[in-house]
Structure 1
Amino acid sequence: MTWDLWFSALLLLFIGITLLHAVVLPRPKRDARTKGEPLVSILIPMRNELANVEGLIGSLQKQTYSKFEVIVLDDESTDGTREALEASTEHDSRFTIKPGAPKLDGWVGKVYACHQLSGYASGDYLLYVDADVRIEPNAVQDVLAFMQHNNLALVSGFSRFLLPTWLNKLLVPMQHFIVLFHLPMGLARFTKWPPATAAHGGFMFFERGAYEAIGGHESVKGEIVEDMALSKRMKAHGHKMWLANITAFASCTMYETNEDVWKGFSKNIFNGIGKSVPLAAVIMVFYASFYVLPFFLLVGAVVVADPSLLIPYALISIQGLIVYATTKEPLYLAFALPASALALIALLANAMIRSMQGQKVEWKGRFYG
């Protein structure tokens, strides 16, 4: 078998893996019934999030589930976030705004804010939502029912992403691609093996007893990628945790500008793989080989008039279509996978080099390394 047939066979295998994972990834049902009406505390850390106040508060006020409270922690904002929150919620007793305490040494800023929020919460369930997330009116009701009927201690999921800039389009949906391709979904869903898990900090729905049993956010106080650390702790302590497809229930504009995309991912991507240089090298070579090279083969197909060289690009595009159809992202992004892979490689290489040089990334007035 020639190299091109081997190459295409591997890409076909990747399609099969992705399709299987897309089927196995669980989805909450719409209009589901909860068991009783436990109190849900919706907990939101906000630091200089003025632009997100109106949209977030509006989406929470439309929830169909009746028994919930919302507690927002203003984490030392300087842009008018507190005033906007007060104006948006002054006639709604379900909302409480709390001032954040100065960050303690040894804590990551967001993690400390979430820890403070848990102390104010009264709910049987704790739903942590990021300020840039918008949840559908039935989200609390349906995801809570999903948790109860499957005896879950934690549900997390990646929202449908809204993509205002070109770097958003290239990098942000790659989170869906990486999860649906690389996460062993069967192990993630049907076992409590800690490495087989994924989570997104923008939507973390905990059963309170399990949250407290693992030590809450205090147990991961120094973790930049705290969502993954919490999900692994859940499984390590014998609790049932699922990553779910919540794209029908939540949307998110993670970053407004290209600069924010670069900075935001830079503080997480190398940390997220344990600052492992060998693993970073493997990832970069893998994506260069299987997702950047097909573009050059496509160009070669035109230059030398060899249609067989089109096959790898067609196969990775099919894989991308499966991912983005499953996660409700624009389908045309599947055809930009080589550019997305190249951006991912550049981002990871830059974050790795900066980390090795001891440089930190500034994010909302705090520094991460």
Structure 2
Amino acid sequence: MLGKEILGAISLGLLLFQGTAIPILLSRLLRGPGRRPPLEPKTPTPDLLGTVSIIVPTLNEAERIDPCLAGLSRQSYEVREIIVVDSHSQDGTQKRVKAAAQKDPRFRLMTDDPLPRGWVGRPWALHTGFLNSSPKSQWILGIDADTQPQPGLVASLLAAAEEEEYDLVSLSPQFILRHPGEWWLQPALLMTLLYRFDSAGVREPAPERVMANGQCFFCRRSVLEKLGGYSSAASSFCDDVTLARYAATQGFKVGFLDGAKVIRVRMYEGARETWQEWGRSLDLKDAASSSQLWGDLWLLLATQGLPLFVSAILLIYLGLGYSFPTLKAAVGLNLFLLAIRFALLWAIAPSYYRGEKPSPAAWLFWLSPLADPLAVLRIFISAFQKPTQWRGRIYSLGD
């Protein structure tokens, strides 16, 4: 067991290390209640006819693209065309797109050229689609194949962009989870974003704190032309955030809104795939400076990664009769952080789709704070690794 002096020094160190992070965390969380409400489905007006071109990048998406194609087909006349840019899938993805095109002529299938050096597959496909889209469309909407667009999605994006005078807006979705491990781990990973950045719907963050979601990424065509399409995010594995922050630094108005009522997403199968695939991009290092990355890692460790362990260990010492001011203060601080974390479950609960018959494993959502140390560990691991493969593509470390 540790002596009183050593325990006192550790308690003081924790107070300094964690206590300085709490005001930063609270300053972000307290902006949440004043955020813009979630988008509601809208009905387009005649003046919006043919306003939007949609681009869907695909690579071996046959097992999950059908709900996306169906959801896009249900969008109304504001959608001029739906361009599916396929990167030479080998699993029947193209066949499914062709079947959708027989029912809805707005669908157009094309394959992208070989990946140029310095480009990641997703921004290259989006860039290809943008260059081949109709110049008559005023807006470009990038949609991922794992999404499930709901009726009124595109009209709601147009309405929000007009109301807030956005040049670029992306949406946070409603997540569809099935397996027990997902319900336990995925909310903890999502919380790492909420701790570092403002909630969806908070207005006008600083350019370096802008958040974005490429699963639903809506931008004025004229703005994309001025930005050089997706080229500014060519080599980024978080191209959505990279491009959105670049747009913000160029003076364009960027919004990140709550789209839980208009778009859903089923990203990964199980906790293992969630850990491997989503965890690799959540550090956002490609869109941040090294100082910002280190600051975010410190904040996550101090406010999300440590409280569970620290509370448990220090409470044991209190139970053994160790009682002095710094120890009590350190215990109180970490219990306070845990209370915040559990309270935030109520705030993010609408971001998860329950359906008419909720998953039997959905109760594990309420225990997701117990996965926080793992979630923070995943961000640390990802922050110091460069991806070598993504969605079936292999990248050399020199790319």
- Residue aligned with 1:126, SS: strand
- Aligned partners of 2:175 and 2:266 also within 8 Å: yes
1:36 aligns with 2:47: yes
Select the residue among 368, 379, 389 that pairs with 1:348: 379
Aligned AA (2:158): L
The change in CA–CA distance for 1:259 and 1:337 in structure 2 (over 3 A counts) is closer
Task: Between 108-117 and 37-46, report the one with greater CA deviation.
Answer: 37-46
TM-superposed deviation, 1:63: 1.6
RMSD: 3.7
| AA in 2 matched with 1:367 | Y
Out of 245, 255, 277, the residue aligned to residue 232 of structure 1 is 245
**Larger mean Cα displacement after TM superposition, 128-137 or 169-178:** 169-178
In the alignment, structure 1 segments of 5+ residues that lack a partner are none
Match of 1:57 among 56, 60, 69: 69
Equivalent-residue separation in structure 1 for 2:73 and 2:97 (angstroms): 13
Counterparts of 1:241 and 1:253 in 2: how far apart (Å)? 25
Counterpart residue type for residue 338 of structure 1: P
- Find the counterpart in structure 2 of residue 320 from structure 1: 345
Q: Percent identity among equivalent residues? A: 20
1:87 aligns with 2:99: yes
**Which segments of 5 or more consecutive residues in structure 2 lack a partner in the other structure?**
1-10, 322-327, 355-361
Give the match's secondary structure for 1:189: coil
Say if 2:306 is the partner of 1:289: yes
Q: Deviations over 1:192-244 (max 9, x none)?
A: x4113100111100111111111110122111111111111111111111110
SS at match of 1:71: strand
Distance 2:306 2:37 in 1: 31
Once residues 175 and 396 of structure 2 are traced to their aligned partners in structure 1, the CA distance between those partners, rounded to angstroms, is 24
Q: Does 2:299 correspond to 1:250?
A: no
Query: What displacement does 1:179 show?
Result: 4.0
Residue 32 of structure 2 is matched in structure 1 by 21
From 211, 216, 222, the counterpart of 2:235: 222
Q: Name the CA shift for 1:34/1:208 in 2 (closer, same or farther; >3 Å).
A: farther
After alignment, is 238-247 or 284-293 more displaced?
284-293
Change (3 A) 1:288 1:35: same
Contact 2:58 2:89 (8 Å CA) reproduced: yes
* Matched ranges for 1:175-190 at <5 A: 176-184=190-198, 189-190=203-204
Matched, 1:128 2:142: yes
AA of the residue aligned to 2:97: L
Aligned to 1:71: 83
- Aligned residues between the structures: 362
Which one-letter code corresponds to 1:262 in the other structure? W
Q: Which residue of 2 aligns with 1:259?
A: 272
Task: Return the offset for 1:297.
Answer: 6.8
> Which stretch shows the higher mean deviation, 69-78 or 88-97?
88-97
For the pair shown, the structure with the greater C-alpha radius of gyration is 2
CA contact (8 A) 1:298 1:313 kept: no
* SS of residue matched to 1:96: strand
Amino acid at match of 2:73: Q
CA distance in 2, matches of 1:126, 1:362: 24
Normalising by structure 1, report the TM-score.
0.83
TM-score for the superposition, normalised by structure 2: 0.77
Alignment partner, residue 176 of structure 2: 162
For the 8 Å contact 1:195–1:232, the answer to whether it is kept is yes
Q: Which residue identity is paired with 2:224? A: Y
The whole-number CA distance in structure 1 between the counterparts of 2:139 and 2:167 is: 9
Whole-angstrom distance in 2 between the partners of 1:186 and 1:102 = 36
